Chains A and B, each alone.
Chain A
Amino acid sequence: MTSMKSLLAAFLLALTSLFSLSASAVVEGYKYQFDSEEEVQRFNGLAEVLRCPKCQNQNLADSNAPVASDMREKVYELMLEGQSDDQIVDYLVARYGDFVHYKPPVRAETWLLWFGPLIAFLIGLLVLRQLRRKQTVEQAQPLTEAERAQLERMKSGADSSSN
């Protein structure tokens, strides 16, 4: 029993040492070799925030479009060249436009994209507030003398008719 356990431990140790020798990211069946786990994380992170221009609702990590694999390859290449995340994103944005980044910069053309939802929300709040105010105004207003008298009349009228 103990020998089994030690055997298993040795096996696991061998397995982990195998992985620590080289780290790799596997995306859509393509393997990208890196020196460290950090690099793998960086690569996966970039593939996550970069958008495939062909299949417009997928990122580079999810897409199996040929252009997405070319772009992943380029990201890998630029990473090995030692470029920073920003440099890599800029490289692709310079060729494919703001569209390739899931976080486009705030500019005149992207203003509505960034702040549209907030504006819609504020309009919604405003409408809600107006409606609420109208409701409370109606509730809070006491009946006038005439209205009270009319109410009484209607009540007694209803009473007499039911009797």
Chain B
Amino acid sequence: MKRFVLFVPLVGVLALVVLFFLTLDRENKDALPSPLIGQAFPAFDMVALESGAAVTAEDLKGQKLLVNVWATWCPTCKAEHAFLNKLADQQGIRIIGINYKDEDIKARQWLESFGNPYEVNVSDPDGKLGLELGVYGAPETFLVDANGVIRGKHIGDLNTEVWKKLQPQFEAMP
């Protein structure tokens, strides 16, 4: 019985090894859970990157969609752009962009060169909407249902692999 005590440190170390192994496997180690999940998309009144027309949170409602936060200074956004084009063109998924802490001119040029998967882009040069959304990098993608409620968030690029995990959740949303 007393000998058992001698094994406590060993058991402790093994538990740590298991814990570290599990975290090693976790993709996106820096991803933080968002407190906004389950809440209505924050109200905003901004302008569209393309037309300068007003865009508000009301415009999100009606049909479920992805809200993708991107910028031309973000290399990972470039990496996911082709996949976003595919989602919009081939799967007909509604995507609204938030052009985050970027320059409008550069952003428009980017969309002309690489294609535009977005229904509309919200211009957010100061990151004000980004702050409301708890954005701390780009790209970030929110899953928003038809009622304008945030149902999920992905930090990092969207690709085939990631979409495999997100798609069931997206399909299940109203």
Chain B interface (Cβ < 8 Å from any Cβ of A): 2, 5-6, 8-9, 12, 30, 32-36, 101, 126-127, 130-137
Q: What B residues does A130 contact at CB under 8 A?
A: 2, 5
Q: Report Cα–Cα, A123/B7, bound state, in Å.
A: 12
CB of A94 closer than 8 Å to a CB of B: yes
**Which residue of chain B lies nearest to A120 when distances are taken between CB atoms in the complex?**
B12
Contact B35 A94 (CB under 8 A): yes
Q: Report Cα–Cα, A70/B135, bound state, in Å.
A: 11
CB of A71 closer than 8 Å to a CB of B: yes
Contact A99 B32 (CB under 8 A): yes
Tell me the dominant secondary structure on chain B's binding face. Answer: loop
Which residues of chain A in 124-143 are interfacial with respect to chain B, using CB atoms and an 8 Å cutoff? 126-127, 130-131, 134
Shortest C-beta distance, A68 to chain B (Å), equals 9
Q: Given A95-B35, A96-B32, does the pair A70, B2 have CB atoms closer than 8 Å? A: no
CB of A155 closer than 8 Å to a CB of B: no
**Which residue of chain A lies nearest to B36 when distances are taken between CB atoms in the complex?**
A95
Interface size of A by Cβ–Cβ distance < 8 Å? 23
Q: Given A67-B136, A70-B131, does the pair A93, B32 have CB atoms closer than 8 Å? A: no
Shortest C-beta distance, B160 to chain A (Å), equals 27
Q: Given A123-B8, A123-B12, does the pair A96, B30 have CB atoms closer than 8 Å? A: no
Which residues of chain A in 81-95 are interfacial with respect to chain B, using CB atoms and an 8 Å cutoff? 93-95
- How many contacting A-B pairs (Cβ < 8 A)? 53
CB of A29 closer than 8 Å to a CB of B: no
Chain A interface (Cβ < 8 Å from any Cβ of B): 52-54, 56, 66-67, 70-71, 74, 93-99, 120, 123, 126-127, 130-131, 134
Q: Given A67-B135, A130-B2, does the pair A97, B35 have CB atoms closer than 8 Å? A: yes
Contact B8 A95 (CB under 8 A): no
Q: Which of A70, A94, A97, A134 contacts B130 (CB 8 A)?
A: A70
**Which residue of chain A lies nearest to B7 when distances are taken between CB atoms in the complex?**
A127
Shortest C-beta distance, B136 to chain A (Å), equals 4
Q: What B residues does A93 contact at CB under 8 A?
A: 35
Contact A96 B8 (CB under 8 A): no
Q: Report Cα–Cα, A40/B71, bound state, in Å.
A: 34
Q: What A residues does B34 contact at CB under 8 A?
A: 97
Q: Which of A53, A126, A134 contacts B136 (CB 8 A)?
A: A53
Q: What A residues does B30 contact at CB under 8 A?
A: 56
Shortest C-beta distance, A33 to chain B (Å), equals 19
**Which residue of chain B lies nearest to A123 when distances are taken between CB atoms in the complex?**
B8
**Which residue of chain B lies nearest to A99 when distances are taken between CB atoms in the complex?**
B32
